[in-house]
């Protein structure tokens, strides 16, 4: 695929800039892989979620706060998620969380967002293995509990592996996209 084939919309909410920094790293990695400017970043604090409908391929970034709570920008637009027309859109997710401080709620917002989007008829890519993490519970696990429903990052406790995880995940996304009838 070339950059002329499609554009990827990356929508995130970020309070402490970690989700935003991850969005920028994902953008750089994917633009490098595609050899073009294909990823367009949107902070949902400044852009309506409805704008996501313009893209056939989407990435949503969300962080989990406190005891399994949504990030404030996502929380303020949560009802808008249900109104999106994402039928047959390709969606990948990434989440930020603190597996040590909030081990019982690690990546819960990621799982909550996945569940909201799943009923809209989109096609998910980018599930991520749950090896290398230490947590007690998560709403973001697949049914068989072997994967997270998206890339899981913990810049609080595992900042040193964030870049490698992003590189591996974006390469996986490229492969999954290439395997789809797009």
Q: What is the pLDDT of residue 3?
A: 40
Q: What is the pLDDT of residue 129?
A: 98
94, 154 in Cβ contact below 8 A? no
Q: What is the pLDDT of residue 98?
A: 96
Residue-wise pLDDT tens for the chain (182 aa)? Answer: 334 557 999 999 999 999 999 999 999 999 999 999 999 999 999 999 999 999 999 999 999 999 999 999 999 999 999 999 999 999 999 999 999 999 999 999 999 999 999 999 999 999 999 999 999 999 999 999 999 999 999 999 999 999 999 999 999 999 999 998 64
Q: Which two structure tokens, joined as six digits, stand for 130?
A: 């749950």
Q: What is the pLDDT of residue 6?
A: 76
Q: What is the pLDDT of residue 181?
A: 62
Q: What is the pLDDT of residue 2?
A: 38
Q: What is the pLDDT of residue 180?
A: 87
77, 44 in Cβ contact below 8 A? yes
Provide the whole-model pTM: 0.95
From its phi and psi, is residue 132 left (phi > 0), alpha (psi between -120 and 50) or beta? left
Among 80, 77, 74, 76, smallest CA distance to 111 is for 74
- Extended strands (E) in the chain: 8-12, 39-43, 57-65, 69-70, 90-96, 123-124, 128-129, 147-148, 151-153
CB atoms within 10 A of CB 181: 3
Please report the domains of the chain, with CATH numbers, ordered by start residue. Answer: 8-179 (3.40.50.360)
């Amino acid at each position: 695929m070339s950059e002329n084939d499609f554009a990827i919309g990356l929508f995130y909410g970020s309070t402490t800039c970690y989700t935003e920094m991850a969005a920028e790293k994902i953008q750089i990695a994917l633009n490098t892989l595609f050899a073009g400017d294909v990823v367009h970043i949107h902070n949902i604090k400044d852009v309506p979620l409805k704008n996501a409908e313009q893209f056939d391929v989407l990435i949503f970034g969300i962080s989990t706060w406190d005891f399994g709570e949504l990030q404030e920008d996502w929380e303020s637009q949560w009802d808008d998620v249900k109104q999106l027309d994402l039928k047959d859109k390709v969606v990948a997710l990434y989440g930020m969380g603190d597996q040590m401080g909030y081990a019982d709620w690690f990546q819960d917002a990621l799982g909550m967002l996945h569940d909201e989007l799943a009923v809209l008829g989109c096609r998910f890519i980018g599930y991520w293995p749950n090896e290398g993490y230490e947590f007690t519970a998560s709403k973001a696990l697949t049914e068989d509990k072997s994967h997270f429903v998206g890339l899981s990052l913990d810049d609080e406790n595992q900042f040193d592996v964030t870049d490698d995880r992003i590189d591996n995940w974006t390469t996986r996304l490229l492969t999954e996209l290439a395997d789809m009838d797009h």
